[in-house]
Amino acid sequence: MTVLQKHSKINVFLTYKRAIYTMSKIHQLSPHEAQKIAAGQVVERPVNVVKELLENALDAGATSISLYIQDGGKKLIQVIDNGYGMDRQDAKRCFEKHATSKIRSVDELTTITSFGFRGEALASIAAVSKVTLLTKEQGATEGTRIDAQEGTISAKPAAPPEGTNISVSDLFYNVPARAKFLKKRETETRHITQMAQAICLGHPKLHFQLFIDDRLFVSCPSQDNILKRCAQLWEKNTARHLIDVNAANNQRGVTICGAISDHQWFRYDRNGIFFLVNNRWVSNYQLGQALLKGYNNVIPHGRYPTSCIAITIDPSLIDINTHPRKQEITFANPRIVQQLIQDTVRSALETNVSKQIKKNISLYQPEMPDIPAAPFEHIPHPISIAETQKLPAEQTPLAPNYAPASKQDNVTPDAGDMPTSPENNYRLVGQFGKTYILIEQQEGLYLIDQHAAHERILYEQFANRFEKIPTIKLMFPQLVTCKQQDLDLIAPHLNIFQQHGIAIEPFGKDQLIIQSTPVHLKDVQLQELIQQVIGWIKDDNQIDQEQFSKSMHNKLQAQMACKAAVKAGDSLTHEQMQELVSDLHACPNRFSCPHGRPTGWLLSLHDIEKMFRRKT
Sheet with strand 426-432: strands edge to edge: 414-415, 600-604, 444-449, 436-441, 426-432
Q: Is 604 in the site for Mg ion (CB under 5 A)?
A: no
Q: Which is nearer to Mg ion, 121 or 418 (CB)?
A: 121
Q: Which is nearer to ligand ADP, 50 or 447 (CB)?
A: 50
Q: What whole-number distance in Å separates Cα of residue 420 and Cα of residue 357?
A: 8
Q: Which is nearer to Mg ion, 121 or 192 (CB)?
A: 121
Q: How far is the CB of 145 from Mg ion (least distance, A)?
A: 20
Which bin fits 172, alpha (ψ -120 to 50), beta or left (φ > 0)? left
10 Å CB burial of residue 335 (0-12, 13-18, 19+) is exposed
Q: How far is the CB of 360 from ligand ADP (least distance, A)?
A: 51
Q: How far is the CB of 448 from ligand ADP (least distance, A)?
A: 58
Q: How far is the CB of 98 from ligand ADP (least distance, A)?
A: 9
10 Å CB burial of residue 103 (0-12, 13-18, 19+) is middle
Q: What whole-number distance in Å separates Cα of residue 299 and Cα of residue 266?
A: 7
CB atoms within 10 A of CB 70: 17
Q: How far is the CB of 116 from ligand ADP (least distance, A)?
A: 2
Q: How far is the CB of 88 from ligand ADP (least distance, A)?
A: 13
Q: How far is the CB of 75 from Mg ion (least distance, A)?
A: 22
DSSP 262: -
Residues 100-119 that bind Mg ion (CB under 5 A): 116
Q: Which residues contact 81 (CB under 8 A, 6 or more apart)?
A: 57, 60, 62, 64, 65, 163, 164, 165
Q: Which is nearer to Mg ion, 67 or 308 (CB)?
A: 67
Binding string to Mg ion for residues 373 to 402, with x set by CB under 5 A, is what? Answer: ------------------------------
Side-chain-facing half-sphere of 338: CA atoms under 13 Å: 16
Q: Which residues contact 534 (CB under 8 A, 6 or more apart)?
A: 482, 486, 489, 490
Q: Which is nearer to ligand ADP, 100 or 559 (CB)?
A: 100
Q: Look at residue 75 and give the partner it binds from Mg ion, ligand ADP, none, a contact being a CB closer than 5 to 8 Å depending on partner kind.
A: none
* DSSP codes of every residue in 277-345: ETTEEE--HHHHHHHHHHTTTTS-TT-B--EEEEEEE-GGGEE-TTSTTS---EESSHHHHHHHHHHHH
Q: Which is nearer to Mg ion, 168 or 565 (CB)?
A: 168
In this chain, which residue has its C-beta nearest to ligand ADP? 116
Q: Which is nearer to ligand ADP, 103 or 428 (CB)?
A: 103
Q: Look at residue 101 and give the partner it binds from Mg ion, ligand ADP, none, a contact being a CB closer than 5 to 8 Å depending on partner kind.
A: ligand ADP
Q: Look at residue 188 and give the partner it binds from ligand ADP, Mg ion, none, a contact being a CB closer than 5 to 8 Å depending on partner kind.
A: none
Measure the CA dihedral 527/293/582/412, to 10°.
-100
In this chain, which residue has its C-beta nearest to Mg ion? 116
Q: How far is the CB of 146 from ligand ADP (least distance, A)?
A: 11
Q: Look at residue 117 and give the partner it binds from Mg ion, ligand ADP, none, a contact being a CB closer than 5 to 8 Å depending on partner kind.
A: ligand ADP
Q: How far is the CB of 74 from ligand ADP (least distance, A)?
A: 21
CB atoms within 10 A of CB 184: 10
Binding site for ligand ADP (CB under 6 A): 52, 56-57, 59-60, 81, 83-86, 94, 99-102, 116-123, 164
DSSP 510: T
Q: Is 125 in the site for Mg ion (CB under 5 A)?
A: no
Q: Which is nearer to Mg ion, 46 or 116 (CB)?
A: 116
Q: Which is nearer to Mg ion, 121 or 385 (CB)?
A: 121
Q: Look at residue 82 and give the partner it binds from ligand ADP, Mg ion, none, a contact being a CB closer than 5 to 8 Å depending on partner kind.
A: none
Q: What is the DSSP pairing of strand 207-212 with strand 64-70?
A: parallel
Binding string to Mg ion for residues 21 to 60, with x set by CB under 5 A, is what? Answer: -----------------------------------x----
Residues that bind Mg ion (rule: CB under 5 A) add up to a total of 3
Q: Is 202 in the site for Mg ion (CB under 5 A)?
A: no
Q: What whole-number distance in Å separates Cα of residue 530 and Cα of residue 410?
A: 45
Helix, strand, coil shares, percent, the chain, to 5: 40, 25, 35
Q: Look at residue 94 and give the partner it binds from ligand ADP, Mg ion, none, a contact being a CB closer than 5 to 8 Å depending on partner kind.
A: ligand ADP
Q: Which is nearer to ligand ADP, 158 or 494 (CB)?
A: 158
Q: Which is nearer to ligand ADP, 60 or 605 (CB)?
A: 60
Q: How far is the CB of 273 from ligand ADP (least distance, A)?
A: 27
Q: What whole-number distance in Å separates Cα of residue 48 and Cα of residue 179?
A: 14
Q: What whole-number distance in Å separates Cα of residue 525 and Cα of residue 141?
A: 83
Q: How far is the CB of 47 from Mg ion (least distance, A)?
A: 15
Closest alpha carbon to 109 in 317, 279, 287? 317
Binding string to Mg ion for residues 142 to 171, with x set by CB under 5 A, is what? Answer: ------------------------------
Q: Is 121 in the site for Mg ion (CB under 5 A)?
A: yes
Q: What whole-number distance in Å separates Cα of residue 307 and Cα of residue 290?
A: 13
Q: Which amino acid is at 183?
A: K
Q: How far is the CB of 154 from ligand ADP (least distance, A)?
A: 17
Q: Which is nearer to ligand ADP, 121 or 277 (CB)?
A: 121
Contact footprint for Mg ion (CB under 5 A)? 56, 116, 121
